[in-house]
């Protein structure tokens, strides 16, 4: 393994503390502890890419723990697995737009839930208390998909505005459209 030099101006202890804090928040939200730590470590890595050995070393965990965490993270689409060029070693990458990608992949899952809930409504009987509960659940997920699509479209525009602002010399970026600010519903 090639030993990496710490990045200039980067306080490795502060980064390690951040990784553990963010992981703790992910655990509170329902993620298991080891995948949360591994994901947080990748998020804090400048390149967003680390090998299993590097993750094991940084987090002081076994390679088996990294492997188990990666199985989960790859499955839910938060991390991708790739081959290190010229090597048989795997490396793991977190995408810069991981949250956007994660949200767009949820559609497939929600569509399956909608179909099952609609089948359940027909099975238990439309117009029954249970049928109404299942039908309302399906309607909620349909509504949620539509809302998320709108939100993701607005995010693309906002992200482009952020990128343009970061590229400008003044750092102020372009002026937002009238009525497009927070609370405008657009």
**46 in helix, strand or coil?**
coil
Residue of higher predicted confidence among 76 and 65: 65
Residue closest to 118 by CA, chosen among 140, 134, 133: 134
Averaged pLDDT, 93-109:
80
How would you label 95-120 residue by residue, b for 16+ Cβ within 10 Å and e otherwise?
eeebeeeeeeeeeeebeeebeebbeb
- Model pLDDT, residue 117: 96
DSSP state of 6: P
Angle of helix 98-124 versus helix 129-167 axis, rounded to 10: 170
Residue 185 predicted with pLDDT over 60: no
pLDDT at 58: 94
Distance between CA 131 and CA 142 in Å, rounded? 16
What pLDDT, on the 0 to 100 scale, is given for residue 32? 95
pTM attached to this predicted model: 0.68
How far does the chain reach from its first CA to its final CA, in angstroms? 49
- 144-168 pLDDT, tens per residue? 999 988 988 898 899 899 988 888 7
CA angle, corner 12, sides to 6 and 18, nearest 5? 140
């Amino acid at each position: 393994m090639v030993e990496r030099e710490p990045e200039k101006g980067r306080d490795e202890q502060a980064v390690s503390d951040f990784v553990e804090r963010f992981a703790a928040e992910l655990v509170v939200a329902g993620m298991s502890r080891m995948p949360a730590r591994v994901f947080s470590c990748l998020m804090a890595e400048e390149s967003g890419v680390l090998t299993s050995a590097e993750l094991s070393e940084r987090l002081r965990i076994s390679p088996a723990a990294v492997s188990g965490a990666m199985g989960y993270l790859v499955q839910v689409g938060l991390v991708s697995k790739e081959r290190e060029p010229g090597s048989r070693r795997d490396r793991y990458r977190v995408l810069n737009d991981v949250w956007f990608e994660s949200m767009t992949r949820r559609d497939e899952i929600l569509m399956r839930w909608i179909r099952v809930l609609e089948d359940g409504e027909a099975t238990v009987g439309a117009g029954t208390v249970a049928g109404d509960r299942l039908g309302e659940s399906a309607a909620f997920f349909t509504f949620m998909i539509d809302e998320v699509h709108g939100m993701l479209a607005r995010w693309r525009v906002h992200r482009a505005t952020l990128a343009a602002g970061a590229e400008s010399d003044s750092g102020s970026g372009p002026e937002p459209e009238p009525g497009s600010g927070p609370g405008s519903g657009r």
